[in-house]
Structure 1
Amino acid sequence: NKKGKANFFLLDKLNSDELKAEHHPEGTIRVMDVIEVDDQYQKLAQHLLGNVYIAENEDALANSNGSVILEKNGKYVKGKYSLTGGSVGIFEGKKIGRAKNLAKLREEIAQQDVVVNALKADIQSKHNEVIAFNEQLKENAIRKAQEDISNLTNQVYSLHNKIENIHSQQQTSLQRLEEMQTSLDLTMSSIEGTRNEWMELVTALNGLRDTLRSSEIDYKETEETYNKANAEYNEFNLQVTRQQSRINALVQEEEFKRNQLADLKKQVDTNAVQLNQTIASISESSELLATAEDGLVAMLRNKEEEEKKLNEADQAYYNLRNALAEKESALRHKVKNREQIEHLLGEIKDKLNELKLQLAGMKERLSVEFRINLDDIIDEPRTGDTPVEELQEKTDRMKKRLENLGEVNPTAIEAFTEMKKRYEFILEQKNDLVTAKQSLLQTIEEVEATANKQFLDTFNQVRENFQKVFKALFTEDDTADLVLENPENLADTGIDIVAKPKGKRPSSITQLSGGEKTLTATALLFSIYLIKPAPFCILDEVDAPLDDANVGKFTQMIRKFSEESQFIIVTHNKMTMNAVDVIYGVTMQEPGVSKLVPVDFRSLKVAES
């Protein structure tokens, strides 16, 4: 199997003395004098290439004497103590020196990257310094302005505090004055009320005494009249009764007038007292108002002075802010100029690097292809008279001819053999993939056929159950059905639910009433349930939109299906609760604490039976 090319050196047969003993063939150049090697690889290069020479013609090949001689047309003579084996790879056989050129280019690129990174770091550091300077300048100006503003604000706050203190003292004084006046008024009114009550009591006592005297006189007169008219009592009984009634009415009227007169006197006295108090209060209020007006005028004057100072401070602040804005604008202009200069400097450096790379490439090309050192001939005058344009044109033509001719590839047959093997391998893989694809498509078809068959069987069973359950919940005259929208495509088809209660021909299930919709949905649910009954079934307030008759049908169906499954129903309907075996009620006797109260009807039913 041809896997590549390998060179082996018998190092135990070589030593530094033998290498030094080799002679220098005539007409050759030492390879170590042509190549450039880093110091750390100098010994390895001396070991590998110390006995290698480059010949100008084929005459030097005959006198190699154990040395390795390379002729510039490609011929060479191997040294002793070496062994070569293996095959040439597909991508080998290129020109000598290309790897060296690539290595040198990589080194130059690395060096230029180092320079570019250093420049970038320098630019970034300068940029950071400028940003720090800007931030420091802005922070100092802003800090100074903030300090001025804080001082002015503190002064304003202190003035406001003083004004508020004065206002609070004034309010406190007024409140104390009002409290004292109120206390004085209450005391005076209490004294006056007590005096009025005493006078009223004295007047009432005198009135009662007069009334008592007049009553005694009337009683005596009446007694005398009674003794005189005792014989005539039966005759004038009616007249005496009327007169007595009139007397009582007059006495009551007199008492009412007396009370009304006493009330009017009290009201007059009260009004007089209130008038005096009002006059005194008005005089005191006038004095306080005058004092308050004087204080207010003084405060207004002080406010104008403070506002003037505040306006001056605001003007100074705005002047400082304008100056800061001008400085920031000038700084931004300088930063923009610096960025433009840095951009021009970067372009100049890029152009310089590009020229250096071109010069290095030209120097390397002259050294490798023409064995010419650019530093040696750069100062020499031209020896020919041919124009540079003509030489350049001739050079381009020769390069084009060489490119058209191309290179001879001696390994084309081996490459073809390898590519043919690769093609046959890929073709075999392709055939395997096609076979696998056909197998997968056949499997998919079988799965789809099985799924469609099972779907149709299940659909027909659900359809039959739906019709039966629907008639059980409604009546035998009611009809219902399940219809496939697209029977040709069972994987994507939809299902239409048709429900037609007796006396109705709705075009859509949405035209049914709420109870009819609930019964239809319940019928569909139980038709699916009958395909494969579950051990438990939970229904949440299914009977809420149903009337009593439909609730009875619903509970009968639940009772029938409960022989195979256990139903848990959340309900508020009493008829549903009456049909169940066990009720679990959730109560909250204490706030935040729920309690479960079970009631088992099965024991009661057993006892009744």
Structure 2
Amino acid sequence: MRLKKIRLAGFKSFVDPTTIPFPGDMTAIVGPNGCGKSNVIDAVRWVLGESSAKNLRGDAMTDVIFNGSSARKPVGQCSVELVFDNSSGRIAGEYAKYNELSIKRVVTRDAISTYFLNGSKCRRRDVTDLFLGTGLGPRSYAIIEQGMISRLIESKPQELRVFIEEAAGISKYKERRRETENRIRHTQDNLERLEDVRGELGRQLEKLQRQAAAAKRYTTLKAQERTLKSELAAIRWLKHDDHLQKLQQTQQQLDTDIEALRARQRGDEAGIEKYRDTQQTCKQKLDYLQQNLFTVSATISRLEQSALHNQQRLKQIDSELSDIQTQQEALNEEQELLTVQAEEHAELVVELEPAYEIQQAACEQLEVTRDQAEAALHQHQRDFQQTDQQYHQLKQQVHSHHSKVQSLLQMQMRTQQRIGELEREIQEFSQADHQQAIDDLQLELEMLAEQILEQQDKVQSARQTLEQSQRHYEQARQHTQSMRAELQQNQSRLVALETLQQAASPTGPQPEGVMPLWQQLTPKPGAAAIIEHVLSELGDAQLASGESLATLTENQANLSAGLKYFSQAALTRDKQSGSVAALLEDEWVPHQFNQILVAEDAENALAMRQEAGENQLIVTHDGQWFGPDWFRYGEQDTEQGVLQRAEQIEELNDTIAAQEAKLATLEEQESEAQNNIEQARERVSSSEGGLNERNNQRQQLTQRLSWLSEQQRQEAQKRERLDDELNRQQEQLEEEATELAMLNEGLENYEMELAEQAERQARLQDQQQSLQQQLSSQRSQYEQNTRELHQMALKLQESRNKQQSLNSQQQRISQQLTSLVQRAAQLEQEQQSLNQPQTEQAAQLQDLLAEKAALEEQRYSLQQDLEHAQELLNQAMQGQQAIVGDIAKRQEQLDSLKIEAEGYRVRGTAILEQLSEIGVTLKAVLETLPAETSETNWQRDLEQTTAAISRLGAVNLAAVEEYDVQAERKAHLDTQFDDLNDALETLQNAIRKIDRETRSRFSQTFEQVNEDLKMLFPKVFGGGSAYLALTDDDLLETGVTIMARPPGKKNSTIHLLSGGEKALTALSLVFAIFRLNPAPFCLLDEVDAPLDDANVGRFCNLVSEMSKSVQFIYISHNKIAMEMASHLTGVTMAEPGVSRMVAVDVDEAVSMVDA
């Protein structure tokens, strides 16, 4: 088995997808320090399942992902894949058939790690199990990294034992032993649960037996209940049907009476219709007359209103004409006054206009002079402001430079203080090493995850046990209820039979030794019915044992009247074949029974009658009697069925005794099932509590792990930030000193310019004062002339405005006068039109008043006719209402009868549906129903039967079938119990076998490695001795120590050796292990670093010798080691932070040089 190649992508410095091939037995990986050579060793260890970030030279597992460089961004995930050549079949099991194996691991920034085996997703455990016993693993002796040589020699005995175990190939046995112990624990738990289930199931079976008996009792009572219900329903149906027939007769009589009343009602309706027509005619005439009267009255009212309105309007017109004349006179006077005022203001405007123009020209000349003076002043002010601005800028710059100098001095002081603080903080800073705690927490989390899985299995098992216990309890409860119901049913039946049996016995006191004859008879099987027929013929026959007929006659005062008594002499031992006597089991039988023959049916009886004697009678199985010349069909009396009841009573007593015993057992099983439920609930609660506790522990550990990882990351970042800040502060201090020198030089220049600017500013200020005085004088003269011009303009404008206002008023008055003339003309015209029609309206009003009086007389006459017609109609309607009342009364009676009949009909239908639900027909029930029935008696019997069923309680009708199922399940569980015991014994034997094999292999491997170490050590050192020793006699637990004495030294402990001696000793031990159990390959990371050239040569010779059976991949800076390799693989870092691979075939290179 060989490692063919490694594929890396995003792993540490190998950001680009890189493939590193290993074609030969000895491959050397070379390159400068820090180029990423050791990352190849970390990649192999990581893929093989390494879970400690410390062993991968990181703070967290996500540190293996490329974190970016100065030219590249970080990546989101990394992956490493190892490809093995398995053509030799070194990997056993299901993967032995593959010539090539691929192991791949991928991790993301979210710390999600995924393993793949030949492209299929798998667990970390699958990868570690694959290499158990091969010497490969994340921390095996096949991978020796920097510093591991010294740690190997100085490791604890138990840690050193691991290498021997791996070489012996017993690591897989230890793993199997741990798995076997877990299986033993699980098997023992399963045995305990199975024993509980078996015990519970046994108790449940006992209760099911009692429930099955109760189910039979319940079935019998339910059949009796159905029969009584059907007969009671038939009795009620007959009763309802009789009531329904009577109601239908009454309903027919009421229908006849209602029809007669309706005929009379139709005859009266013709007269009512005639009265209504007369009434309608009167109403129509009256309505027409009323409408005409209303029209005339409305016309009269309109004419009267019109005349009154015309008079009022004429008065308004006269008043309005008078007002118009007054307004015209006032407006004429106002117009004359406005004309005079307008002429005065026109003259004033002519006077003011020339003076205004002269004053305006003078103001314009002064304005020009003022503007020139203002321009000169503004120019001088701009010059002064510019000078003043320059002065203030210089002053501000001087002040700013002073402030900057002070600020820089303070900044220098603060920077120096911060540098001192950072130096002290860096000097005092000590990053806590949390890696060991992180590794321990990760290991504890893995163990806790396995415990959680086991606890989840326990919780699931406990819940299943609880569900099973609940099902068993429910089954036990149902079986108990069923058995109790069946027992109550049998007890009720026994009471009923005993009551009937007591009723069949004679009443009153009987002499001593006298008892009913049937109590002395024991019929053969199947003969009880025939014996009952015979006893019914004898009446309440009594048997007096030990008495003669004479004695009975003498004691007849003590006997019951009407009963037939048999003396002892009436009995005989002879039993005639074919007679009733032959059907009895008793030794003594009534002599009379020999005279009664038994026939199968009437046909056989007639045939036997031909041969029978005169004193012999024949009885058939169905109770028919045949005499010499007569025939009678027998009827049962009160004695009928006493023998059968006696048999049933005896059977019921036995059954009830058995059911009571079974009920007690079922109740015990039910109680035990209840206890099992409580125990199962406690186990579920305990298991869930344990699971919650472990989940809480896992959450706490996860939080603790996250906190430690974050703390470690923050501390590393803090140290890096402190270093960066110290460098920045030192650079800043130098920059501040340079800037301070430049500021001092600039400050001197600005102060000189500020003095020159102050002198120039004083000269400009004097010139500005002279210009301001000249401008002030010119402004005052200009403002005086402007005010005078403004006064003249106001007077001129006022005159013009007044003139325009007067003209507007004159126009308005002229318009008002025109409007008044037009309005007066309109009013005069309206006055003439109103005076003309008044005479015509007065004549028309008189005609309308006369017409209205005539119409009112006609209306009074029609109202009298209408009242007479209404009176006749009311009388006819009253008669009609009386008939309608009679019809309604009878109809109400009829509806009531229909409702009542429908009630009986519905109840009858409900009874039929009830019978249909029971599964019988009314006809069938009526055929078997006795002629004389009593609903009360049937109801009482039904209530008694229902009460008997209720006393049974809940009944499990499936108890019999369930009992068979549970019995089969019990047998299956018993088989499982035996199988588990056998499996437990097998597992314990396997543990003992593993222990024996482990001891044997460890002992053989230890001896072999010890021998090889003793041989290799002198070879490597050129002399001296070394050996291995055990710390304990128990080969399963003992540790391993190493003792080494180089040539010429007698040290007492391995720790006294130098670094090079320790390295050679460790290599001797590793190669001794390899000689015994060579791993597929060996990775060496600068193990030759502490060796001198002589020792390196011996090391190289040893490696070269062992490369015949082991593939070596090593990292080295030593030229001698490089020369030894068959292939050189170079790792470069041309781009900062990114590793690349360069491979060289040494043999090919030599050939090229020789050529």
Query: So what's the TM-score if we normalise by structure 1?
Result: 0.34
Higher relative contact order (CA closer than 8 Å, sequence separation 6+): 2
Pick the structure with greater CA Rg: 2
Query: So what's the TM-score if we normalise by structure 2?
Result: 0.19
